[in-house]
Chains A and B, each alone.
Chain A
Amino acid sequence: MKLRQRLPLLVWLSSVVLMLIFVMLTLPGTKWNSNITAAIPGAAEPWQQQLLQQNQSSRHLSLMLSGMPMDELRTAAARLQQQTIADLHWYQPGLLFQQLQLQYQQHQALLASPEALHLLQTGQYQALVDAAWLRLLSPAPLLDNALQQDPLLLTQQFIEQSSLTTGLQPRQSWFETTAGSIEPAVILLHAHLSIDPFDRNASTTLALELQQQLEQLQQQWPALNIARSGVLFHAVQAGDNASFEMQFYGGISLAVILLLLLINFSSIKPLLLAITILSCATLSGLAAVLLLVPQPHVLALVFATTLIGIAIDYSFHGMLAANQGKHYFRAMLPSMALGLLTTLLGYLTLTVLPFTLLNQVAIFMCAGLIAAFISVWIVFPQCISASNLRVNQRVLRYCAAIMQAYSKVSVKVLMSGAVSAVLLLILALPQLRFADDVRLFNQSPATLLAQEQQVRALGKQQWDSRFIIVLADSAQQVLQQETALQHLLEYWQQQGWLTGWQALSQQLPPQKLQDELQQQLQLAYQSAPVQSYLQQLQLKVPAAVSSRLLPDNFNSPLQQQLLTLTDQFAGVILLNGVSAPAEAIDQLSALPQVFWLDPITDTNKVLAELRDQLSLWLMLAVLVTLVILLWRRGLKAACGITLMLVLAVGGALLISQLVQQQLNIFNLVAALLVVALALDYGVFFTAGLNKAGVYQAVTLSALTSCLAFGLLSFSQTPAVAGFGFTVFSGVALAALLAPLLTVIAVKENQTRGTL
């Protein structure tokens, strides 16, 4: 019999031990993600997702060294590159430029500028001859065998007219400002990462190692200025922020909650019990996330710190009820179960949204809350007997005073207040403004953003977040389509809608164009102006070139812009200074297999749709609550609780708008949570439980929830801060309004339970 009584406790204990073992084994190998864009809904098309996954731009980083004379900067740059950092590979621009030149040298007469090709196509041979003479007489060196293979020097001129220069001089291992230039000496180093910068552990290790090396350089050269650019720095910063906030806010929440417990009970036992419940809840939440999510997001853990604030409520209710005896504890359980159910429903709605971050938060919270409830249910009756805990009399007196103050409110005053509040809400709610802009969710520090801007401006790498995608069945078709688009892009440039663009076809013309150039050249060689030119130079007509420069035998960093998807090829055209009107973009998108990709706008559209869905969910949640309450609590209590929920949610959103200026989807998610949390207060205040006990439990519960969510409003991540502030406001309003329910509440029979 004794064993049978102890069985649930043993099962609970074994489960906790098993979860602990699982977490300890899994946690060290877990890859934590810090990419905010991966955590929110994005492009829907499968090819777009493939494309964004293959995008290598997040794996680049750049460092700008300045503040010293060029010689010293070179020494510092060379010192930095001498130190090896695993998974970081420095680009060798000089070497890449030489490689490119060598490839062109081996394929002369296969590449010509669009202007030269036009002259050939229109038979304007004399102009080509004149241009060749000008180039021949320049003191600048020529490519090897230029005259024998390409007497009109078209490939030579193609290289020299290339517009892909950065404005900086390529050195062997970096770019630098031109000697003698009036601009201050600057060196720009580029590197490629072989790790995912959003992989929290790997990126932190790499960034730390790099930081140490940069600090060493700055110790040696105090005047040295280093500006950083690259996703790595932002990802590590975001990860560090999230990690700090998780520990800091979690720590403060825990400390204050434990202090509240100490004040309330003046005993160590409740402290130990609360720690047990919170540890068990956290362990379960973590285990569930590790089990179900392959790469959890660090930001999910920041949201998850709120578990402490909610799970502790069950401890308060459990302790206070158990202290009044097993009978009272059993009577309280259904109310707590109803509270758990409503909170779980609130979080479960988040799992159906296409929002990875919120899905993870929901998994963590649901598992944690269920564990907290089960722990309270199993552990507390075993550990707390009637009047086992001494409740601080001063706290009880405060609660009694609050109770007395609320009891003075007359039904008439309450009703007129409620009507005024509803009217106010009806007038104010249409003023709510939402901004569905993913860029507002996360913000890097201003110094890092300024450095990013500085480095990008210097390297002329200010590519727009929008780009053009060309899809085709083969790489050659991609190059052909890119070449065909050049006229349109030139037109955009003439109209001032585009500053520049970068496509692989600018370095590697399609095979068809190379074939055409060869044919046109053979015709040109037979023309009188070219014949005369060749005779003057005593050169023979070169034979037709049979080899071609193809993606397979071409090596350039621009090849990263040609991607192989599951069943097709994609060419990415990077754009600079885009201000094209919607009609121009529509015209471009109407071209076959040409797509205008704007991941930010696409994500914002998805966010807007999601926000509409969430608004419906919110209204549905309130309606379902009303129906359940009508069934279980009667008309008055149901209407009262629903009104309290509407006022708490509406008020929280209005206050949030006043503070944030604009609301976002996270405020709406928070509103959903306010419904779940505030409902608990309504349930307890309309239950036939000891009033003083309810006041004490709800006050403590509201205090802890306000603390946990209120702390989040100080987060550096705007999305987290907005979420925290709305829940804080909603819970605070609900806690203030819920005691008024006692004025209209229908008291239930204590022996029958409360549900």
Chain B
Amino acid sequence: MIKRLCSWLLLLTTLPCLASTDGHADLLRFSGISGQTPFVQVKQLQGLPVPLTSRGYLQLEQDALLWHTTAPVDSKLLISSTGVSQWHQQQYIAIAGSEFVGQLMLAVLRQQHSFIAAHFALNKESDNCTGLQPLQAPLDKLFRQITLCGEHNLDTLTLTELNGNVTQITLEHTAAKP
């Protein structure tokens, strides 16, 4: 009897944890990108009448992500946990103050749950979308919300900045190369 009571109490105490983990797992069900994945980025900037569309591919490497824009201009960005670096005159030049943006992009595209859970409040937006609301500075001073959409794979990523700028990145998994 005592054994049964103990088991029941144990079940009661562990259930909320399981439920919470399950909740995060459901909201962050996307698998991270791998290999070379084409993307389309549409930026709607405040005061700019036309959206800016660019194309390219993302190449996930060991500790970094290569963001290679091929159209309308050819440019390369290297995104790592230490920040974003721009390819300029045969070398990557670090962009000061981009550390959090680098970590954010890397965590979202790789689906690093621990980083996301530590920095964002998660909420279900619609059937396929999860909203991430920044919890602390400096992310909360930059972004109002980040929305991740997709069924199993992360299909679109929408960054809504506090100043009204919106950047939507669509990942084309069908054209991905290993």
Size of interface on B: residues with Cβ below 8 Å to A: 47
- The reply to whether the CB of A148 lies closer than 8 angstroms to some CB of chain B is yes
Task: Identify the interface centre among B48, B83, B93, B106: most chain A CB within 10 Å of its CB.
Answer: B48
- The reply to whether the CB of B82 lies closer than 8 angstroms to some CB of chain A is yes
Q: Chain A residues near B49 (CB, 8 Å)?
A: 538
For chain B, residues 53 to 81, give those with C-beta under 8 angstroms from any C-beta of chain A: 54, 63, 67, 69, 72-73, 75, 77, 81
Interface stretch among A154-162, A436-444, A498-506, A702-710? A154-162
- The reply to whether the CB of A423 lies closer than 8 angstroms to some CB of chain B is no
Cβ contact within 8 Å between B138 and A98 = yes
Query: Which residue on B lies nearest to A146, using beta carbons?
Result: B45
Task: Identify the interface centre among A138, A144, A171: most chain B CB within 10 Å of its CB.
Answer: A138
Q: Chain A residues near B46 (CB, 8 Å)?
A: 144-145, 147
Distance in Å: Cβ of A616 to nearest Cβ of chain B: 57
Q: Chain A residues near B137 (CB, 8 Å)?
A: 94, 98, 171-172
Query: Which residue on A lies nearest to B84, using beta carbons?
Result: A140
- The reply to whether the CB of B101 lies closer than 8 angstroms to some CB of chain A is yes
> Majority SS of interface residues in chain A?
loop
Cβ contact within 8 Å between A134 and B86 = yes
Q: Chain A residues near B73 (CB, 8 Å)?
A: 130, 133-134, 137
Cβ contact within 8 Å between A139 and B47 = no
- The reply to whether the CB of A124 lies closer than 8 angstroms to some CB of chain B is no
- The reply to whether the CB of B24 lies closer than 8 angstroms to some CB of chain A is no
For chain A, residues 120 to 157, give those with C-beta under 8 angstroms from any C-beta of chain B: 130, 133-134, 136-145, 147-148
Cβ contact within 8 Å between A179 and B115 = yes
Cβ contact within 8 Å between A142 and B84 = no
Distance in Å: Cβ of B107 to nearest Cβ of chain A: 9
Cβ contact within 8 Å between B97 and A165 = yes
Query: Which residue on B lies nearest to A142, using beta carbons?
Result: B165
- Interface membership of chain B positions 138-174, coded 1 if the CB is closer than 8 angstroms to chain A and 0 otherwise: 1001110000000000000001010101010100000
Distance in Å: Cβ of B95 to nearest Cβ of chain A: 4
How distant is the Cα of A464 from the Cα of B138 in the complex, in angstroms?
A: 32
How distant is the Cα of A180 from the Cα of B67 in the complex, in angstroms?
A: 19
- The reply to whether the CB of A169 lies closer than 8 angstroms to some CB of chain B is yes
Cβ contact within 8 Å between B48 and A538 = yes
Which of B54, B97, B98, B161 is in CB contact (< 8 Å) with A137?
B54
- Interface membership of chain B positions 26-49, coded 1 if the CB is closer than 8 angstroms to chain A and 0 otherwise: 000000000000000101011111
Cβ contact within 8 Å between A160 and B81 = no
- The reply to whether the CB of B12 lies closer than 8 angstroms to some CB of chain A is no
Query: Which residue on B lies nearest to A172, using beta carbons?
Result: B137
Q: Chain A residues near B115 (CB, 8 Å)?
A: 179
- The reply to whether the CB of A163 lies closer than 8 angstroms to some CB of chain B is yes
Q: Chain B residues near A590 (CB, 8 Å)?
A: none
- The reply to whether the CB of A181 lies closer than 8 angstroms to some CB of chain B is yes
Cβ contact within 8 Å between B96 and A169 = no
Task: Identify the interface centre among A162, A171, A172, A179: most chain B CB within 10 Å of its CB.
Answer: A179
Using known A-B contacts A94-B137, A179-B103, A180-B103, determine if residue A140 contacts B95 with beta carbons closer than 8 Å: yes
- The reply to whether the CB of A178 lies closer than 8 angstroms to some CB of chain B is yes
Cβ contact within 8 Å between B97 and A142 = no
Distance in Å: Cβ of A253 to nearest Cβ of chain B: 59
Using known A-B contacts A160-B97, A160-B98, determine if residue A147 contacts B143 with beta carbons closer than 8 Å: no
Cβ contact within 8 Å between A147 and B48 = yes
Query: Which residue on A lies nearest to B105, using beta carbons?
Result: A139
Query: Which residue on A lies nearest to B76, using beta carbons?
Result: A134
Query: Which residue on A lies nearest to B47, using beta carbons?
Result: A148
- The reply to whether the CB of B10 lies closer than 8 angstroms to some CB of chain A is no
How distant is the Cα of A160 from the Cα of B81 in the complex, in angstroms?
A: 16
Q: Chain B residues near A136 (CB, 8 Å)?
A: 43, 45, 52
Cβ contact within 8 Å between A147 and B47 = yes
Cβ contact within 8 Å between A179 and B81 = yes
How distant is the Cα of A160 from the Cα of B99 in the complex, in angstroms?
A: 11
Task: Identify the interface centre among A101, A161, A178: most chain B CB within 10 Å of its CB.
Answer: A178
How distant is the Cα of A148 from the Cα of B143 in the complex, in angstroms?
A: 20
- The reply to whether the CB of A537 lies closer than 8 angstroms to some CB of chain B is yes
Cβ contact within 8 Å between B52 and A137 = yes
How distant is the Cα of A181 from the Cα of B106 in the complex, in angstroms?
A: 13
Q: Chain B residues near A161 (CB, 8 Å)?
A: 93, 95-96
- The reply to whether the CB of B100 lies closer than 8 angstroms to some CB of chain A is yes
Size of interface on A: residues with Cβ below 8 Å to B: 38
Cβ contact within 8 Å between A159 and B96 = yes
Which of A133, A134, A160 is in CB contact (< 8 Å) with B96?
A160
Q: Chain A residues near B163 (CB, 8 Å)?
A: 141-145
Using known A-B contacts A172-B136, A180-B103, determine if residue A141 contacts B48 with beta carbons closer than 8 Å: no
Task: Identify the interface centre among A94, A97, A139: most chain B CB within 10 Å of its CB.
Answer: A139
Using known A-B contacts A137-B52, A171-B137, A537-B48, determine if residue A178 contacts B84 with beta carbons closer than 8 Å: no
- The reply to whether the CB of B6 lies closer than 8 angstroms to some CB of chain A is no
For chain B, residues 9 to 24, give those with C-beta under 8 angstroms from any C-beta of chain A: none
Cβ contact within 8 Å between A138 and B136 = no
- The reply to whether the CB of A21 lies closer than 8 angstroms to some CB of chain B is no
Cβ contact within 8 Å between B84 and A138 = yes
How distant is the Cα of A141 from the Cα of B144 in the complex, in angstroms?
A: 12
Which of B41, B45, B98, B103 is in CB contact (< 8 Å) with A142?
B45
Cβ contact within 8 Å between B141 and A163 = no
Using known A-B contacts A94-B138, A537-B50, A539-B48, determine if residue A163 contacts B159 with beta carbons closer than 8 Å: no
Using known A-B contacts A98-B138, A538-B49, determine if residue A141 contacts B96 with beta carbons closer than 8 Å: no
Using known A-B contacts A141-B101, A163-B96, A537-B50, determine if residue A134 contacts B75 with beta carbons closer than 8 Å: yes
Task: Identify the interface centre among B52, B115, B142, B169: most chain A CB within 10 Å of its CB.
Answer: B52
How distant is the Cα of A364 from the Cα of B100 in the complex, in angstroms?
A: 60
Distance in Å: Cβ of A113 to nearest Cβ of chain B: 11
- Interface membership of chain A positions 89-120, coded 1 if the CB is closer than 8 angstroms to chain B and 0 otherwise: 00000100110010000000000000000000
Distance in Å: Cβ of B42 to nearest Cβ of chain A: 11
How distant is the Cα of A537 from the Cα of B95 in the complex, in angstroms?
A: 24
Distance in Å: Cβ of B99 to nearest Cβ of chain A: 5
Cβ contact within 8 Å between B43 and A141 = no
Distance in Å: Cβ of A371 to nearest Cβ of chain B: 64
Q: Chain A residues near B83 (CB, 8 Å)?
A: 178
How distant is the Cα of A277 from the Cα of B50 in the complex, in angstroms?
A: 94
Cβ contact within 8 Å between A139 and B103 = no
Q: Chain A residues near B63 (CB, 8 Å)?
A: 180
Q: Chain A residues near B98 (CB, 8 Å)?
A: 140, 160
How distant is the Cα of A145 from the Cα of B95 in the complex, in angstroms?
A: 20
Distance in Å: Cβ of A585 to nearest Cβ of chain B: 30
- Interface membership of chain A positions 720-754, coded 1 if the CB is closer than 8 angstroms to chain B and 0 otherwise: 00000000000000000000000000000000000
How distant is the Cα of A101 from the Cα of B96 in the complex, in angstroms?
A: 12
Using known A-B contacts A138-B84, A139-B41, A147-B45, determine if residue A169 contacts B99 with beta carbons closer than 8 Å: yes
How distant is the Cα of A546 from the Cα of B4 in the complex, in angstroms?
A: 79
Query: Which residue on A lies nearest to B159, using beta carbons?
Result: A139
Distance in Å: Cβ of A111 to nearest Cβ of chain B: 14
- Interface membership of chain A positions 609-621, coded 1 if the CB is closer than 8 angstroms to chain B and 0 otherwise: 0000000000000
How distant is the Cα of A165 from the Cα of B98 in the complex, in angstroms?
A: 11
Distance in Å: Cβ of A456 to nearest Cβ of chain B: 21
Distance in Å: Cβ of A603 to nearest Cβ of chain B: 37
Which of B45, B93, B100, B105 is in CB contact (< 8 Å) with A169?
B100
For chain A, residues 155 to 198, give those with C-beta under 8 angstroms from any C-beta of chain B: 159-165, 169-172, 178-181
Having A101-B97, A142-B163, one finds 20 other A-B pairs with CB under 8 Å, namely A71-B118, A97-B97, A98-B141, A136-B45, A137-B43, A137-B54, A137-B73, A138-B67, A139-B101, A139-B105, A139-B159, A141-B143, A142-B45, A144-B46, A160-B96, A165-B97, A169-B99, A172-B136, A180-B81, A181-B82
B-contacting residues of A (Cβ < 8 Å)?
A: 71, 94, 97-98, 101, 130, 133-134, 136-145, 147-148, 159-165, 169-172, 178-181, 537-539
The 3 closest A-B pairs by CB, nearest first: A180-B81, A144-B163, A160-B95
Q: List 21 A-B contacts (CB under 8 A).
A: A98-B137, A133-B72, A134-B75, A137-B43, A137-B52, A137-B72, A137-B73, A139-B101, A140-B95, A140-B98, A140-B101, A142-B161, A142-B165, A143-B163, A147-B46, A165-B96, A178-B83, A178-B99, A180-B63, A180-B106, A538-B50
